[in-house]
Amino acid sequence: MDDIQQQLQLRLKEHGLEVGELQLEQFEMYYKELVSWNEKMNLTGITDREQVYTKHFYDSVSLAFYTDMTKVNKLADIGSGAGFPGIPLKICFPHIQLTIIDSLNKRIGFLQHVVDTLGLEQVELIHGRAEELGRKEGYRDSYDLVTARAVAKLAVLNEFCLPFVRKSGMFAAMKGGDPREEMKEAEFSFNQLKGRVKAVHPFQLPVEESERHIILIQKFDKTPHKYPRKPGTPLKTPLV
């Protein structure tokens, strides 16, 4: 274990999360594959090892500081890109059944390679659109926790993500700067999609102190039949 790995371990421990040698090995393998594949396809603009550990790994796992992941059995990560936050959360909480949905097949290929290399089990990787999968049985109204990290504005994210959340489950939107304006703009979509803001957790990343916010939205009823609308519509005409 080197300094960067030890730093991650200690920072997580400060929040009551214990990660062992195997998990640290998995993070390191993930880092190596990310950088290697990034030469062939655009996965991330961040390749410096220390920055990846802070801005991707720690940032992804920060969701567990504000949500009891031991009570989450089914987690869906929508628009996961290079696997954030889904894969780091799965590394830390191996019991989770993880579903990752991404619209780019190349990224799903990368994630399949990561899952195989790290030996992760109970991970379903789907090339598809959230608007279509959110209508399918087995996905709709099915997940304890659904998350999306820096994908779109909240009014759009609500329509992408809330259809997957089971009644009384949670959607966690992972954001950068102050989300108050986005939340105000998203009020209509909360009502339409049966979501209620339960909490907003601001924090800062270690060292560089970038602002982060996690918005926890509880779903109080099943998704109305007309949502999500057809692919492309939520982005073109958000529910505002």
Q: Which residues are annotated as a binding site?
A: 79, 84, 130-131, 149
Q: In whole angstroms, what is the distance from residue 135 CA to residue 226 CA?
A: 9
Total residue count of the chain as it appears in this document: 240
DSSP 120-147: --SEEEEES-HHHHTTSTTTTT-EEEEE
Tell me the two tokens of residue 164.
């997957």
Name the nearest CA neighbour of 91 among 207, 149, 12, 206: 12
Annotated binding site for S-adenosyl-L-methionine: 79, 84, 130-131, 149
DSSP 33-54: HHHHHHTTS---S---HHHIII
Q: In whole angstroms, what is the distance from residue 216 CA to residue 213 CA?
A: 10
Tell me the two tokens of residue 168.
């009384």
**Is the peptide bond prior to 206 cis by the omega test (within 30 degrees of 0)?**
no
Strand partners of residue 213: 175, 202
